[in-house]
Amino acid sequence: MKHIAAGVLNVAYREVGPTDGTPVILLHGFPYDVHTYDAVSIRLSAAGMRCIVPYLRGYGSTTFRAAKTPRSGQQAALGADLLALMDALAIPSAVLAGFDWGGRAACIVAALWPERAKGVVSCGAGYNIQNISQAGNPVAPEKEYRNWYQYYFHLERGRAGLTLNRRELCRLLWRLWSPTWSFDDATFARTAASFENPDFVDIVIHSYRHRLGGISGDPELDTIETRLAAQPDIAVPSIVLQGGDDGVDPPQVDDSAALHFTSFYERRIVAGIGHNFPQESPKSFADAVLALT
C-alpha cells in the first residue's frame, strides 16, 4: 500500500504493473474497496498497464489532511478527489474505470476535464452523474423499492444502524445487489475491514442525503456541482458494463444513458453478473479497459 497527499486527502492506493505502462485508475464503490480489483489488476498489469487502485474517501487508510474539512460524500467531492490524485501522481491522462461511486468519479472527470481521460469504463447506470435537481421526483415503484437503503440513511435511525451494524448491513447489500455471486466469508471480511475508517459513516450518510437534496454540500465544491447540474456530456471513448443480475441498476431495454456519450460508445450486458461487476467478472472488465487503450 502506498500513500500520497492529494488535495484534501492522504490517499492510500495500490499500484500494480510497470511504472511506464499506460495508466488506468480503478475506482471502487459503496460498500466495496480496493479488493474489487485484485483479479482485474493482475490481468491489466500482465498486458503492460500501470494500475492505480485508491481507497476512496472514508475507506481503508485514506484519511483527511485537516480535521476541519467537511466529511462530504457528494459527487463533486469524488470527482475532485480523482483529479487531485492524478495531479499528485503527475498523471496527465488515464483510462478511468469504476462502478457505483467510482464510476461516478470517472464520469465526472471525463465530462468536466476530458483531456484527463483517455477513455471511461463505467458500470451500472453508465452515465453516473447525478441529476440532483430532479431527485425529488418519484420514480417507478420497483426502483423506489430498490432504493430503500437511501431513504433509511436519511433517518438518524439509519445513521445509528450503519454505525452499529455496518458489517451486517453492508453484507446484506452485497447479497441483494449481487444475488448470483457466491462470495465467501473471507472475501467479505477482507473488504469489510475498510469500513472501520473513522470517516466512513459520515461520508456515506452525507452522500445519500446530498444526492436526494436533503442536505447541503461542501461550499468549496459548489462550482463543480453547478457544472454537474447541467448534466454535461462525456466526449471521450466509453464502454458501459451492465450485469444482467444487478440488484441496483438492472439493464433496461432503452439505453437512455447513451445520449450523454458523444464519442465512441458501447454498452455490454453480461448475464449472471450483479452490481460488483469488476470482482464478479474480472475478465469482462479488464477486456473493456484494454479495448480503450
Q: Which domain holds residue 37?
A: 2-291
For residue 31, say if its preceding peptide bond is cis, omega within 30 degrees of 0.
yes
Contact 57, 128 (CB under 8 A): no
**For position 194, what pLDDT does the model report?**
98
CATH of the domain at 47: 3.40.50.1820
Number of domains in the chain: 1
Which pLDDT tens digit goes with each residue over 260-288?
999 999 999 999 999 999 999 999 999 99
Residue 256 Rama label (left phi>0; alpha psi -120 to 50; beta): alpha
**For position 209, what pLDDT does the model report?**
98
Indicate whether this model's pTM tops 0.85: yes
Distance CA 33, CA 190 (A): 9
Which pLDDT tens digit goes with each residue over 130-140?
999 999 999 99
Residue 69 identity = T
Q: Looking at the DSSP assignment, which residues form a beta bridge with residue 63?
A: 10
| Tens-digit pLDDT string for the chain (293 aa) | 999 999 999 999 999 999 999 999 999 999 999 999 999 999 999 999 999 999 999 999 999 999 999 999 999 999 999 999 999 999 999 999 999 999 999 999 999 999 999 999 999 999 999 999 999 999 999 999 999 999 999 999 999 999 999 999 999 999 999 999 999 999 999 999 999 999 999 999 999 999 999 999 999 999 999 999 999 999 999 999 999 999 999 999 999 999 999 999 999 999 999 999 999 999 999 999 999 99
Distance CA 174, CA 144 (A): 18
**For position 151, what pLDDT does the model report?**
97
Neighbours of 215 (CB within 10 A): 16
**For position 13, what pLDDT does the model report?**
98
**For position 113, what pLDDT does the model report?**
98
**For position 90, what pLDDT does the model report?**
98
